[in-house]
Structure 1
Amino acid sequence: MSTIVFHGRVIPERADFNATGSGGNPIQRSIETPFGEIGCHFTILKSVISVRCITNNVEINLETLRNLVVNSLVSVFTDAHGIASGIGYDVEIVSALNVDSGYLRVFGADERIDTTDPFPELAQLVQLAGSDLQLRSAMANFRRSIRMPIETAFYCYRAIEAVKGFFLSMTSGRKDIAAWREMRTALNLQQSTLAEFKVAADQMRHGIIVDQTWGQRKRQMEIAREVVRRFAHFLANDKTRLSSEKFPEY
C-alpha cells in the first residue's frame, strides 16, 4: 500500500477558496483510475490544495494520477463554485510526495514529449506569430492541450485545424478537403498521421469525454507540435513547400 500526497493551489492566487468536510475535516472521495479505485482525502484552505491518495498499486504513473485528481476530484468543487458564482478558477498541482518511499516529484509546466526538432529561432517565431493569426491560434491550442490534460486530443487537433485554416484561405475558401490536401503537400504530412486521433478529438468536440492514457496524450502532442513546427518553417520560408530532405514525410 502506498500513500501519495499532492499539493497545489487554486488560481488566481489572490482567490481565497476553501473546501472542507464537516467540522473542517478532509473531504473523503474515491476515484476510478486505470490503477483501480483509489481512496482520497482532500482539503482546500485559503486556496492551498492538499490531496492524500491511498493505493495498493505500485505501478502508478504520477502524471496520470495527478490529472485524475484534478479532473475527478478537485476541479469538481472549484468548477461547481465557479459556475454558481460566475467565477473562473483554475487548479495547479505543484508536487507529489510518496510518503512511504520519500520520493518527491515537483511538476513543471512542460510535458515529457520529444522537442529535439527545432522551430525557427525564437525572435523570428514571435515575429511570424505576431503577423499570422493561424499560427498564434495553433500555438495557443497546443498550450491548452498541455494545461487541460482531459482534452488533449481536442486541443491538439484544434492546433492542426488552425494550420489547415491558413491553407483554406490560400484555396480561396474552397472546401476543407482542398485545404487539407494543400497543407499535407506543403508540409510533407501523411493523411494517416493527421487522422490518428481524429475520432477522439471529434468525440470530445461533441461532448463525449474519452479517457486518454499518457502514451496517447504524448503521441497527440508530438504530432500537433510537429505540424505547427513545420507550419512555422513554411511561413519563414516565404510560404513555399518544405524540402523533403529537411522535412521528410511525417
Structure 2
Amino acid sequence: MSSNTNSEKTYNYLFIGQVLPNTTQITLKDHDYVFEDDKLGIKGRILVTIKSSHVIIQFVGDVPLEDIGTLRNIVYDNARILIEATGFYIGSILSLNITHAIWENGSHLALFTSDAPAVKGFPESQGITIDDLFAVTYDLSDTYLQQSLSDMTRAMQSAIDTGFYCYRALEALRHYFKSAYNLQKDGVSWEKLRAELNFSREAIDYIKQFADAVRHGDARSVPSVTSQERTKILQTTASVICRYVLYAKNGYKQPID
C-alpha cells in the first residue's frame, strides 16, 4: 500500500506474525527504527508492534521493493531482537514466526512457511533417501553429522545467522577428517574435507565471509545478506552435507558418485 505525506509518496509493507509459543502472551511497547543498508539499497523506517503475542511489523520506504524475501529477513531480525531480549528477561524460550506480508493496498500478498526452498528436495535430488540419512545420523560413532544437521536447522531459521551456522555445520564435518586421519592442523583437515568430498576452497570461503564477524562476536561488522546470497549459502552447505552422507554410506571412502 502507498500513501502521500507532504506530497511525497511512500511505500508500506506489513508483515504479520506471532510470538511462539502461543501459550506465552507477550505485549511490548511499540518500537520504531530507522534502517539503511547501502549494499542492499534499502532505506526506510521499521515499526514493530507486539500485542498479546500478535506481531505486526511495518516497513515504510521511499521506493517500491521487489525482493520481498530480503525485506522479510530485515524486519524479522529487527523484531527478533526485541523478542529474544524479552525471552531472556522473563526466562522463557521465545521465537518469532512471520506468516505473511501485505503491500500495495492489500493487492499483493506473500505467505511464509517453515519450508526452506533452497534446501527442500535437495537430498533426494542427490540420490539420498531418508533411510540413508538416518543410518549415518544414528551411527553413534558419527556425532559430526548430528552436529552439522543441528547447525543447518538453525541456519534455515535465521537469515542473519545463516553464514555462521552453515560454516559451523561444515566445521563439524571437518572434525571427522581431523579425527579419522589424525590431522593436527585445522588447515590440513579443511584440505582433506575438500579433497574427499570434492569441493573447492572458493565454495567454502564464500560461506566463511558471512560467518567470520559473527564467529568473533563482532555484530557491527556482520555483512547484510540478500535472499539470493542466502540461497547460495544454504545450497552449498546442503551439497557438502549430502556429499558427506554419500561418503559415509560408502564406508567413509571414495568414490561417492
TM over 0.5: yes
| Counterpart amino acid of residue 170 in structure 1 | A
User: In the alignment, is the contact (CA less than 8 A) between 1:9 and 1:93 conserved in 2?
Assistant: yes
Separation of aligned partners in 1, 2:204 and 2:32: 42
Q: How has the CA–CA distance of structure 1 residues 125 and 119 changed in structure 2, closer, same or farther, with 3 Å as cutoff?
A: farther
Superposed CA deviations along residues 18-51 of structure 1, whole A, max 9, x for unmatched, are 1234xxxxx4433224343322333211111112
Say whether 1:7 aligns with 2:10. Answer: no
Deviation at 1:103, TM superposition (A): 1.4
| Pairing 1:58–2:64 present | yes
Identify the range of structure 1 (123-132 vs 148-157) with the bigger mean alpha-carbon deviation: 123-132
Task: Choose from 207, 215, 226 the match for 2:239.
Answer: 226
Of 177, 182, 187, the residue aligned with 2:187 is: 177
Structure-1 separation of matches of 2:252 and 2:32: 56
- Structure 1 counterpart of 2:52: 46
1:101, distance to aligned residue in structure 2 (A) = 5.3
Aligned position for 2:34: 30
* Structure 2 length-normalised TM: 0.84
Which of 106, 112, 115 aligns to 2:111? It is 106
Tell me what 1:205 maps to: 215
Identity rate, percent: 23
Please provide the CA RMSD for this pair.
2.0
Structure 2 unmatched runs, 5+? 1-9
Residues in 1 aligned to 2:212 and 2:86: alpha-carbon distance in whole angstroms: 29
Q: Number of aligned residue pairs: give it.
A: 238
Equivalent pair of 1:187/1:230 in contact (CA under 8 Å): yes
Task: Give the TM-score normalised by the residue count of structure 1.
Answer: 0.86
Aligned to 1:123: 131
Superposed displacement of residue 119, structure 1: 5.0
Range that drifts further, 54-63 or 3-12: 54-63
Match of 2:149 among 139, 143, 146: 139
In the superposition, relative to structure 1, how do residues 200 and 51 fare at CA in structure 2: closer, same or farther (>3 Å)? closer
- Distance across 2 between alignment mates of 1:119 and 1:13: 38
* Counterparts of 2:80 and 2:147, CA distance in 1: 26
What amino acid is the match of 1:185?
A
Give the letter aligned to residue 72 of structure 2. Answer: R
